Amino acid sequence: MVRSLVYAANWKLHHGPAAARDFVARFAELTEPREGRELWFFPTAIAIAAVADGFRRRADVRVGAQNVHWEPKGAFTGELSVPLVAEAGATHVLVGHSERRHIFGETVEQSARKTVAVLAAGLTALVCVGETLAEREAGRTEDAVRRQLDLVLEVVATADRSRLLIAYEPVWAIGTGRNATPADAAQVHRFIRSRVEGRGWTDRLRVLYGGSVNAGNALAILAEPDVDGVLVGGASLNPEGWAEIVGLGG
């Protein structure tokens, strides 16, 4: 059986609808579906529909939102609800990305509420966890990951477990050019799995790695058996570069 790997592109604050359509057209020229490989795209909110429409004939592609509010509607100016992003074509949602936590002040409790809302609507949640440089240097990596992860695990219904994935993203390695070694990543991934198994989960939780992933280090990271894919920011913004990365591994 071919090992299934997830290649997730987080475009952050890049690519509006026009640029997204150009990206999709070029990327489609460079790639084709391949067994054991899933391609996930998290574009800007206003480009979700463009990307979903552009990839509508690609069964290997999933499109997601970078963030949602936990309420389905209401007086929340500037927010997006799960029903709204789903209507635009999103089937997946990033939850608790480090930039949401550290720039916008998202709490562990808010991440848990978002996760519940995403899963209750039948979408897939990719929940991000990871430590800061200070926490890493103080030997508190596992404490930081445990704090961010455990509440999410507590609130996920048994029936929804198959649609929950975790991304380990050491904050100190995002956009810095530094990255955890494959062995470092695998160690934290094993810790994450131990927290899940301790709660009686029988299905294997899929865990992705994110943190300055590029064409030069992706293959070594993906070679680790405890790494089920990668969450990539800057290196996913160019269709040629992203096509090169998704051609690795598997």
Please tell me the distance from the alpha carbon of residue 89 to that of residue 78, in angstroms, as a whole number.
19
Residue 161 pLDDT = 93
How far is residue 103's CA from residue 116's CA, in Å, rounded to a whole number?
A: 22
CB 16 within 8 A of CB 44: yes
Nearest CA to 153 out of 129, 122, 171 is that of 129
Q: Is 71 a catalytic residue?
A: no
Considering the candidates 38, 169, 189, 224, report the single residue annotated as catalytic. Answer: 169
- For residues 9 and 211, what is the distance between their CA atoms, to the nearest angstrom? 12
What was the pLDDT predicted at 54?
98
Q: Which residues pair with 126 in a beta bridge?
A: 94, 165
Concatenate the DSSP letters of all residues of 156-202 into one string. Answer: S-GGGGGGEEEEE--GGGSSSS----HHHHHHHHHHHHHHHHTTT--
DSSP assignments along 193-235, one per residue: HHHHHTTT--SPPPEEE-SS--TTTHHHHHTSTT--EEEESGG
Known catalytic membership, residue 69: no
| List 69, 97, 99, 106, catalytic entry | 97
Calculate mean pLDDT across residues 22-28. Answer: 98
Burial category of 19 from C-beta neighbours within 10 Å (exposed 0-12, middle 13-18, buried 19 and up): middle
**Helix residue spans in 36-181 (DSSP H):** 48-54, 82-88, 98-102, 108-120, 133-137, 141-155
pLDDT digits (tens, 9 = 90+) for 113-169: 999 999 999 999 999 999 998 999 899 999 999 999 999 999 999 999 999 999 999
Question: pTM above the 0.85 mark?
Answer: yes
How far is 41 from 241, CA to CA, in rounded Å?
14
In 3-state terms, what secondary structure has residue 46? Answer: helix
Dmax over CA atoms of the chain, in Å, equals 49
What's the rounded Cα separation, in Å, for the pair 232 and 49? 21
pLDDT (0 to 100) of residue 157: 92
Over the stretch 46-86, which tens digit does the pLDDT of each residue have? 999 999 999 999 999 999 999 999 999 999 999 999 999 99
Answer yes or no: is pLDDT of 95 > 70.
Answer: yes
